[in-house]
Amino acid sequence: MSGVDTNNRISRKSFIAQVAAFTLLPLACKSKYSHIKGSILGANATKGHQLRREIPQLPHTKSAKKVVIIGGGVSGLSAARQLQKNGVTDVVVLEMNDTPGGNSLSGKNEITAYPWGAHYLPIPDCADKELLSFLHSCGVITGFNKNGLPIYNEEYLCFDPEERLFINGYWQEGLIPKFGVPLAEQAQIKRFLSEMDNYRKAIGNDGKDAFCIPVNKCSNDYTYKRYDEITFEQYLKQNNYNSTHLIWYLNYCTKDDFGAGIDKVSAWAGIHYFAARKGKAENASHDDVLTWPEGNKWLVNQLQKGLEGQIITNALTYSVKQNQKEKIEVTYLNGDDAHLIEADVVVLATPNFINKHIVEQELLTHQQLNANAMPWMVANITVKRFFEYTKGLPLSWDNVIYGNAGLGYINATQQHLNQPSDKNVFTFYYPFCNKSAAEERQRALGLSHKDWVEIIIKELEMAHLDIVNHIEQIDVWIWGHGMVLPEPGYQKKLASLQPAHPRIKYAHTDFSGISIFEEAFHQGIHAANEIIKQYATNV
């Protein structure tokens, strides 16, 4: 060794040092998240907010239709479908976005389709013949057994394992906290669930189910409707429910279905969440759900079948007025051109807050709900396959982390029949519900992609310590106005609505107070049936 030229050693040393410096320097400058791609999508706020301005433009074309449906969400499509089934085909649906679906939108990458919003449908009640018939027509129900119970296509029933909750360092099965939960609290949770079970079976003095779907079929018995007057939080206090774990779980549930916690939603809505689901099936039970990689966009696609040519996308309706002929003139923007349609009847399948911006005052009498809708963030996260160091149930459909503000994530490939590849997509749901809807909306729209990445990763790291190294992309969708918030008094407000203008029909879950697929589906059918009745009596 003594013979080694010292100059050589130095040069070798410095050579290595230089190589190291060149490769390591950029790494040191990079942030922990800089490898994560993605952007903020959706919301279509700029487009929608055009409504706030006057659009002084003469219509480019004029045409006439029997029915114009404004809004191509589930309610609007369901109305169009019901009309068509009953022979009313001179119908057009105006959808603001480039694809119908409303809250049930989806995206797709090379790995899978994934939802941007609503993503499952619980097994419906057997009394809901219309929904069963729709599901039968699109192959979700393959047939009925000899007792009349539907048989579901197992490709659409959520695959096992369905739900897991990360609590006390362990992934337990199911979302109701139990692992490491003190026995006294477990007893309280049990008491709560059995009380909800009783409400599920309860029948009001008018012979109707105390709680069911659709909401307008629920009993008006004050024994149950009085829960509309208080918050869910007040109800829980009155009934001595104070278990931290139970309260967390109930907050999770109401946030999941209504976008806000127990302090904001009514006790009636809170109980409805637990007591209204009474689906039965040959091969599933009331807590089973139907789901698809693209979420409820799959159902939207089925609703759309047969409506080809009746849906106009990128059609921003900005004016609904009555003309001298007492018909309704609907004007919409498509690109830069305005178009006018003269309609016998207009279905407002739009969120209620939109209506006052587009419909003239005289047509809107007594139909102002002033409903609040909390903002939401949905993220789709592309992850490379990683090893879970945590114990318990492996990756499930719904993965929730106890104690987090977010609602956890859905495995978008859960319903894939094929073997998993080396990448996956998680759909992450995050409601904004601490302050008022307007304040939260401002906050949600003010956050940058970098902020979002940080929020999401911090939540995921609670259960997946090294997940940041496995994330490739995070795309974020902001829903400025998410789902209707069923505040105390909301059901009463709905009950006291005056009859609408005869040429205007409403079809939106804002008129149920609960934003779920079933309600939207029935809202559409209800509006369509009224139109069909009107035509029948006029003829």
Q: Which of 95, 125, 162, 530 binds other proteins (CB under 8 A)?
A: 162
3-class SS at 28? helix
| Closest by Cα among 68, 15, 16 to 350 | 68
- Listed as own residue / partner, the contacts of 364-369 with beta carbons closer than 8 Å and 24 or more positions apart are 364/501, 364/504, 365/498, 365/500, 365/501, 366/497, 366/498, 366/499, 366/500, 367/497, 367/498, 367/500, 367/504, 367/506, 369/493, 369/494, 369/497, 369/510, 369/511
- 8 sits near other proteins (criterion: CB under 8 A): yes
Question: In this chain, which stretch among 60-68, 150-158, 314-322, 425-433 interacts with other proteins, using CB under 8 A?
Answer: 150-158
Q: Which of 419, 496, 537, 538 binds other proteins (CB under 8 A)?
A: 419
3-class SS at 317? strand
- Give CA torsion, residues 191, 192, 198, 201, to 10 deg: -140
- 421 sits near other proteins (criterion: CB under 8 A): yes
What is the spatial distance between Cα 298 and Cα 522, in angstroms, rounded to a whole number?
A: 18
Here the tokens at position 307 are 């409506």
Question: Scanning residues 39 to 78, which ones bind other proteins (CB under 8 A)?
Answer: none
- 110 sits near other proteins (criterion: CB under 8 A): no
Prior bond of 161 cis (ω within 30°): yes
Q: Which of 86, 283, 442, 473 binds other proteins (CB under 8 A)?
A: 283
| Closest by Cα among 340, 166, 195, 328 to 271 | 195
Burial of 115 (0-12, 13-18, 19+ CB in 10 A): buried
**Residue number, 229 or 388, with CB nearest to other proteins:** 388
Q: Which of 54, 308, 336, 422 binds other proteins (CB under 8 A)?
A: 422
For the CB of residue 279, give the shortest distance to other proteins in the complex, in Å: 14
HEC assignment per residue over 396-412 = CCEEEECCCCCCCEEEC
- 349 sits near other proteins (criterion: CB under 8 A): no
What is the spatial distance between Cα 333 and Cα 60, in angstroms, rounded to a whole number?
A: 10
**Residue number, 159 or 199, with CB nearest to other proteins:** 159
Question: In this chain, which stretch among 12-20, 76-84, 327-335, 515-523 interacts with other proteins, using CB under 8 A?
Answer: 12-20
Q: Which of 72, 100, 161, 488 binds other proteins (CB under 8 A)?
A: 161
- 417 sits near other proteins (criterion: CB under 8 A): yes
How many binding residues for other proteins (CB under 8 A)? Answer: 26
- 284 sits near other proteins (criterion: CB under 8 A): yes
Residues 260 and 192 sit within 8 Å (Cβ to Cβ): no
Residues 387-406 as x/- pattern, contact with other proteins by CB under 8 A: -------x------------
Q: Which of 10, 12, 445, 465 binds other proteins (CB under 8 A)?
A: 12
For the CB of residue 412, give the shortest distance to other proteins in the complex, in Å: 15
Prior bond of 122 cis (ω within 30°): no
**Residue number, 416 or 449, with CB nearest to other proteins:** 416
Q: Which residues of 466-501 are buried (b: 16+ CB within 10 A; e: fewer)?
A: ebbebbebbbbbbbbbbbbbbbbebbeebeeeeebb
Question: In this chain, which stretch among 5-13, 67-75, 186-194, 450-458 interacts with other proteins, using CB under 8 A?
Answer: 5-13
- 439 sits near other proteins (criterion: CB under 8 A): no
| Closest by Cα among 467, 343, 342, 423 to 109 | 423
**Residue number, 157 or 345, with CB nearest to other proteins:** 157
For the CB of residue 287, give the shortest distance to other proteins in the complex, in Å: 11
What's the Cα-to-Cα distance from 269 to each of 211, 281, 303, 481, 495, rounded to whole Å?
Answer: 9, 25, 27, 19, 15
Residues 6+ apart with CB under 8 A from 270: 227, 232, 235, 250, 253, 254, 262
Question: In this chain, which stretch among 10-18, 337-345, 425-433, 478-486 interacts with other proteins, using CB under 8 A?
Answer: 10-18
3-class SS at 73? coil
- 139 sits near other proteins (criterion: CB under 8 A): no
**Residue number, 161 or 375, with CB nearest to other proteins:** 161
Q: Which residue has the tokens 């055009």?
A: 50
Question: In this chain, which stretch among 158-166, 450-458, 468-476, 519-527 interacts with other proteins, using CB under 8 A?
Answer: 158-166
- 158 sits near other proteins (criterion: CB under 8 A): yes
**Residue number, 83 or 157, with CB nearest to other proteins:** 157
Residues 158 and 291 sit within 8 Å (Cβ to Cβ): yes
Question: Scanning residues 180 to 239, which ones bind other proteins (CB under 8 A)?
Answer: none
| Closest by Cα among 499, 382, 438, 446 to 109 | 382
Question: Scanning residues 15 to 44, which ones bind other proteins (CB under 8 A)?
Answer: 15-16
- 434 sits near other proteins (criterion: CB under 8 A): no
Q: Which of 55, 62, 154, 169 binds other proteins (CB under 8 A)?
A: 154
- 140 sits near other proteins (criterion: CB under 8 A): no
- 159 sits near other proteins (criterion: CB under 8 A): yes
For the CB of residue 417, give the shortest distance to other proteins in the complex, in Å: 4
Question: In this chain, which stretch among 79-87, 230-238, 355-363, 418-426 interacts with other proteins, using CB under 8 A?
Answer: 418-426
Would you mind telling me the total number of residues written for the chain in this entry?
A: 539
Here the tokens at position 249 are 């779980």
- 536 sits near other proteins (criterion: CB under 8 A): no
Where do contacts with other proteins occur on this chain (CB under 8 A)?
1, 3-5, 8, 12, 15-16, 154-155, 157-162, 283-284, 288, 394, 417-422
